[in-house]
Structure 1
Amino acid sequence: MPRKRGPGRPRKLPVAEQRAQTLAAARHVFALHGPQGATIEEIAKQAGLTRQAVYELFGDKQELFEQTVADIEEQAYAAIAERGSGDADLDLRSWARKNYANLFGFVAENPDAFPVLQEAERAGNRALTRLRARLAEIYTEASGQRWAAYGVEPGRTDTALVAMYFAMTEALVNLSWPEEPPDREALIDLLTEFTIGGVLRLYSQTPGVIERMR
């Protein structure tokens, strides 16, 4: 019969699990205190590991911050790109609304993600800029196909618009309201109608603006 493990030191977690726990804790601590205010001690405590274990896994705090940022960038890209690249059967308005909802959903599900990416930008790591650029490639192609149904050929305008979509969504998600914030669905509808209606107005009333962007 196999012997049962007796009392004593807990079983050591696999390295991959230790890394995952440390990155999850680091994300929260860096979002809360920034890279300067965060400490390895606090991250180790939240991860349920020793400080020495964190140092062995990541070397130092700067390397841990860089790894945390890279992990968030890849997670955000995978989640948002996957949600935004499909749905070939949706028309432009339905597709745009679904993708605004997806962006809101990702931020709500990962409240520490964008604060850490913004901290990285301030520190000189352009992870958020890279993320927007990578997502813009996917969204530009998908939206361009749908604009064609309206007779709109936005050219490079589409790339600029995608960057604006992300910026507006991030701003609304992080906006501090003086009272109870509006319903999320209302904000998604606002973004959808503002962007779709705005581009159609540009194309029909001031086509020269789009022409200059081509």
Structure 2
Amino acid sequence: NVTLDAINSNTNVLVEKPIADTLENADIMIEAAEKAGVILMVGQIERFNPATTKMKEIIDSGLLGKIVSISTKRVGPYNPRIRDVGIILDLGVHDIDAIAYMYGSNATEVYAIAGKDIHSKEDHASIMLRFGDEQAGVVNVNWLTPHKVRKMEVIGVQGVGYLDYVDQTVTIHDAKWIRNAKVEKAEPLQKELEHFINCVEKGEQPLESGIDGKYALKVALSAIEASNNDSIIRID
């Protein structure tokens, strides 16, 4: 309701992830923004991490060859302020979005194993994603690990890339070399806010649109369904 009130008053909106609680509400927000002619941006902060930008550049340059697998680990202790959702909607959406961003395409299938061993909602999950041309994505998240880890591994036929979101480092390994990429470190939240302001001033579409936000929500909800039903869910 807050988002719709802002949109209906012709205000550009930056909404925190996930974009909404349901796909239906996400559609309402997206359609309202399009009708009003305002920007609807979703706050997927890792897209604005300088290490993400560098890894995306490396992938798109072809340095690693064809990418066959991207896996992530986003684990750490439970934050008591998170009460309305489980680990998949809280943390999993970050990496669901990040993997699709790296591939430049959306997942077509999802399978997941999740459990709630300490908390009232799922507190650990392993999510398997299928992309086109025999490419995989693996998301591991939990609230059980006593220390914070935020990492990505990208496997290509010509090399492997390692990304650390916290340290903002990217390392590339191939058959002959280990190379540390030059990353200009910066605060991702600040870059996210600057990007939103820039889009508003120039009337440009944001890096993370409402459509992108809906995709991440759809995959996250499908992962929860897949875990509950022990089934593979097709993503249309």
TM-score range (shorter-chain normalised) is under 0.3
Larger strand fraction of residues: 2
Q: TM-score, normalised by structure 1?
A: 0.25
Greater C-alpha radius of gyration:
1
Greater relative contact order, per chain length (Cα 8 Å cut-off, separation 6+): 2
Q: TM-score, normalised by structure 2?
A: 0.23
Larger helix fraction of residues: 1
